Structure 1
């Protein structure tokens, strides 16, 4: 693709990834053009390069207005595990976006931010690293199903209309102290599992006072390995995918080079922060999201590994 003056529509722009992408794009001197944020309940502060409009992604007229004169779409909007709204957003909303894009004279590329929920996350055992050729294996719940349906719909628009698009399949996205809030027996834990529920209340309180962290074990009793990506690495992949020729009609796993290993994390935190760990058994399965394709075709390279992510989460805190 030639360098063009971009006009990018961002759905889900007020979320973690949308906000980070917006800031990174506007701060990058190499990125020329403007952004349009389609917001539902929350909002952003507009500026000369950022237009904000409000409305529901499930409304056809709203989406048509949002896509007008747009060159690129970054689709992030999702309601997570909300059965009441998920089909309106993930299916109906995506359908109106794709329909508007294929009929647009200015449209260049559609970027869907998918997730490893479409290939089972850690719910199912995998004999091999998970590549982009892995069959869809949604785990129970409406969110994982929606991620499968989104990727399927986008792929069919490649087939039906030769639409230019790509899917960046991201696992659990981390930034700042997210990992420290995850590795805690506090009630205000980040993500799942909720470790304090896996022990009795008194034991949970003792672990909190002692600043102990959970060492997650998989179904085989080994330290859990699960896929993660740092927010900055995902955003860098998004920036690359906007114009890269080899991104057209492709799906890419965007993850750390190696999965996050809870055993190695426990050892590292004990060594660097004197934080002790407690084994926590689960029925989940260790997984490995292979990012080789993104590195080979896009030239993308994650900067964050386990140590960098833990350093980022703990910062200067010494427990």
Structure 2
């Protein structure tokens, strides 16, 4: 079993991944600046796992803080989640995103190299495929410029990591390209808790359901899809977390840089999410259709066959599971971790 450093481990995907790592017998050190997360998530993870982890509050842009973690703990591999992720905010404040996501990742690579740690799983995104590739996205498609600065930072970090692996054969790097993570742990103890107005569909739906927001806005109903609303590849966060556990194991035994799509391969429309949520949970979601958002693609989804063949990973949870678990979390925690 390995000692894993998880940057951004107190966040939504990070906390679920920490739980799966602990279940798999690994030791976990979490490094997080708590800018968009809560230490409470880690307390709950420890309770669920019946095993403790180490928490260090720090910022990946600060080399001394990172170096200290590597000196204090014998780290075998790093899972790198730490970064800002709000698309709209990235358009308004590009420099903050370049500094946090790109400069922070470079700092992490430097500290890893100094400590002699060369196994890394990077939390990337399907946005690196850009707008010109047809779905389903395959890992060997040429990447193109994403239409937002958040996606741009993911693309740049991927390219930096690929060049590091080419230059130095000690590196072993996994690029996990996520699609649309939703859901929560079955217990309802940990889940998605965005600060401020949610950027993603699912927390918006659950916050309307719990009475924190008045209604759900669906952006556009005139797309060339089955029901006119955008189609996305929604994946249960626990399935996504398990992909990280498998990717760590794979990287501890391999060299070089390899990308994997982590999605279900089945496009689901925004309207279907809303209707299925209502059916599964017996709740009505007041909804209005508004005009399209700039830059929204009509549909994107994964070809996840490489992850199945090489990592032995495939999704276990259904759409109904995702929506029931999302509501279970929000219902038990109407104000998130607060």
Q: Please, what TM-score do these two structures have when normalized by structure 1?
A: 0.75
1:270 shift after superposition: 6.8
Pick one of 150, 154, 167 that aligns with 2:157.
150
Pick one of 240, 248, 271 that aligns with 2:246.
240
Q: Give the SS at the match of 1:304.
A: coil
CA contact (8 A) 1:219 1:281 kept: no
* Aligned mates of 2:66, 2:106 — CA distance in 1: 10
Q: Please, what TM-score do these two structures have when normalized by structure 2?
A: 0.71
Higher Rg? 1
CA contact (8 A) 1:118 1:138 kept: yes
Aligned to 2:209: none
* Aligned mates of 2:9, 2:19 — CA distance in 1: 10
Q: Of Structure 1 and Structure 2, which has the larger fraction of its residues in helix?
A: 2
Change (3 A) 1:296 1:247: farther
1:91 shift after superposition: 1.9
- Per-residue deviation, residues 16-63 of structure 1 (Å, max 9, x unmatched): 11122222322x1x414x222222246636888422223321122222
User: Is residue 2:323 matched to residue 1:310?
Assistant: yes
Aligned to 1:50: 53
Which runs of structure 2 are paired with 1:204-243 in the superposition (5 Å)? 214=218, 217=221, 219-220=223-224, 222-243=228-249
* Aligned mates of 1:99, 1:189 — CA distance in 2: 33
Change (3 A) 1:190 1:261: same
User: Is residue 2:70 matched to residue 1:75?
Assistant: no
1:8 shift after superposition: 1.3
- Count residues in correspondence: 287
Aligned to 2:28: 35
User: What RMSD in Å do the two structures reach over aligned CA positions?
Assistant: 3.7
Pick one of 254, 260, 279 that aligns with 2:262.
254
User: Is residue 2:107 matched to residue 1:104?
Assistant: no
* Aligned mates of 2:204, 2:53 — CA distance in 1: 41
1:231 shift after superposition: 0.8
Pick one of 96, 100, 104 that aligns with 1:89.
100
* Aligned mates of 2:258, 2:219 — CA distance in 1: 36
* Aligned mates of 2:126, 2:31 — CA distance in 1: 25
* Aligned mates of 2:219, 2:97 — CA distance in 1: 33
Change (3 A) 1:219 1:126: farther
Pick one of 12, 17, 22 that aligns with 1:16.
12
Q: Give the SS at the match of 2:249.
A: coil
CA contact (8 A) 2:33 2:57 kept: yes
- Per-residue deviation, residues 80-121 of structure 1 (Å, max 9, x unmatched): 32434322222222112223323434x25101011112223x
CA contact (8 A) 1:176 1:313 kept: yes
* Aligned mates of 1:175, 1:270 — CA distance in 2: 15
- Higher RCO (Cα < 8 Å, 6 or more apart): 2
